[in-house]
């Protein structure tokens, strides 16, 4: 049982993590009611730590992580610490204790947590997508499963499959926008999340996609990613309409901001990777204001069908 003082300290540490690790998510989280806000911070702290351990980073930036013994395995570590947390035991690490608290308070299905861990394992073994379906499966593990956990955290019944599907869709949209934006950065560390089928279609040799000669074709691929993200984002808005007002506002704000990233990448064309696409503070405020207007009138545009969209695996 976590004392109120211990919980408060872990929440404070989680807030420090999110403020340093994701300014966009930190800003959007302020729109939640206090209880949901704290739980979002707790979940983020665990996700961020797992990502950093898996990539050998600290808050998304390259840095050596301390080793444990002589045969440190990042994936083994996050899996074992997560298992300890889900068993209700103290782990001695703030991010995993944060998960212990939020998973217990919100009864987050452990299947979503395990699915998210599988995404880190995929990266660790050098996984690459062959098809668009492979890509979306990966996006589910690294982001869609988080969308499902966030939905439960915001009060969605774990048995409400359609709303969870739409929460997953938002995670997919976020990840697809990130992939489009980060093609150059991922290439620099030997990663490529474009399906091999796409590379073959555009006649781009694997491993050479970021060479200047292929930039015009890569712009077409990035636009395809952006359009795929938009389809999932549109579906997610139907799910957001079912959330409480403040949660709806926060989710729609995040959807607007990440959607703007994907659209800006598509707009820049072959110059999309000359400098990193970022959304400035003034533009973010405009997206938050637009989300407020939409949140006040949920469902005004009618429900968007999910027909033809990839669907997450069922437990």
Q: Is it the case that residue 71 has pLDDT exceeding 50?
A: no
Percent of the chain with pLDDT over 90: 83
Q: What's the rounded mean pLDDT across residues 191-197?
A: 96
Q: For residues 21-37, give the mean pLDDT.
A: 88
Tokens 């979940």 map to which residue?
43
Q: How confident is the model at residue 57 (pLDDT cuts 50, 70, 90)?
A: low
Per-residue pLDDT reduced to its tens digit, 291-304: 999 999 987 878 89
CB-CB contact of 177 with 229 (8 Å): yes
| Long-range own/partner contacts, residues 58-66 (CB < 8 A, 24 or more apart) | 59/17, 59/20, 59/21, 60/21
**Structure tokens of 293?**
């207007």
* Helix, strand or coil, per DSSP, at residue 61: strand
pLDDT score at 315: 65
Average pLDDT over residues 177-193: 94
CB 120 within 8 A of CB 78: yes
**Which candidate, 264, 266, 259, places its Cα nearest to that of 220?**
266
Q: Give residue 295's pLDDT.
A: 96
CA angle 187, 144, 173 (to 5 degrees): 65
Examine the pLDDT at 26 and tell me if it is beyond 90: no
d(CA 103, CA 108): 5
pLDDT score recorded for residue 66: 42
Please write the tens of the pLDDT for every residue from 206-256.
Answer: 999 999 999 999 999 999 999 999 999 999 999 999 999 999 999 999 999
How many other CB atoms sit within 10 Å of the CB of residue 62? Answer: 9
pLDDT > 60? residue 63? no
How high does pLDDT run on average in the chain?
92
Q: How far apart are CA 249 and CA 89, in angstroms?
A: 35
pLDDT band at 58 (very low <50, low <70, confident <90, very high): low
Does residue 182 register a pLDDT over 50? yes
- Over residues 130-142, the pLDDT tens digits come to 999 999 999 999 9
Helices 110-124 and 145-153, axial angle in degrees (round to 10) = 150
Residue 59 scores a pLDDT above 70: no
What DSSP character marks residue 298? T
For residue 62, pLDDT over 50 is answered with no
In angstroms, the Cα distances linking 256 to 168, 188, 245 are 16, 28, 16
Q: Are 262 and 227 in contact (CB under 8 A)?
A: no
Residue 150 has pLDDT above 90, yes or no: yes
Sequence-distant contacts of 198-207: CB under 8 A, at least 24 apart: 198/132, 198/224
CA distance 249 to 143: 20
| Domains of the chain as residue ranges with CATH | 1-106 (no CATH), 108-315 (1.10.600.10)
């Amino acid at each position: 049982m976590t004392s109120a003082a211990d919980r408060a300290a872990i929440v404070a540490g989680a807030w420090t993590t999110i403020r340093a690790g994701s300014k966009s998510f930190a800003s959007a989280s302020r729109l939640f009611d206090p209880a949901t806000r704290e739980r979002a911070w707790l979940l983020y702290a665990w996700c961020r730590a797992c990502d950093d351990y898996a990539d050998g980073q600290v808050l998304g930036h390259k840095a050596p992580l301390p080793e444990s013994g002589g045969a440190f395995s990042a994936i083994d570590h996050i899996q074992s610490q997560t298992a300890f947390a889900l068993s209700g035991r103290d782990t001695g690490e703030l991010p995993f204790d944060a998960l212990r608290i939020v998973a217990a308070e919100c009864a987050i299905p452990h299947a979503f947590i395990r699915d998210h861990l599988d995404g880190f394992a995929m990266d660790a073994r050098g996984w690459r997508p062959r098809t668009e379906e492979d890509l979306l499966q990966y996006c589910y593990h690294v982001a869609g499963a988080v969308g499902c956990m966030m939905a439960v955290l915001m009060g969605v019944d774990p048995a409400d499959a359609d709303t969870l599907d739409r929460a997953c869709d938002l995670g997919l949209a976020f990840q697809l926008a990130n992939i489009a934006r980060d093609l150059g950065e991922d290439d620099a560390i030997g990663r490529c999340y474009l399906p091999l089928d796409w590379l073959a279609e555009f006649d781009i040799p694997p491993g050479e996609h970021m060479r200047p000669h292929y930039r015009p074709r890569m712009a077409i691929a990035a636009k395809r990613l952006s359009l795929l993200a938009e389809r999932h984002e549109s579906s997610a808005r139907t799910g957001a309409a079912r959330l409480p007002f403040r949660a709806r506002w926060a989710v729609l704000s995040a959807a607007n901001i990440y959607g703007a990233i994907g659209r800006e990448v598509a707009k820049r064309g072959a110059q999309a990777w000359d400098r990193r696409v970022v959304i400035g503070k003034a533009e973010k405020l405009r997206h938050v204001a637009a989300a407020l207007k939409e949140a006040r009138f949920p469902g005004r545009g009618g429900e968007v069908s999910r027909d033809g969209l990839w669907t997450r695996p069922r437990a």
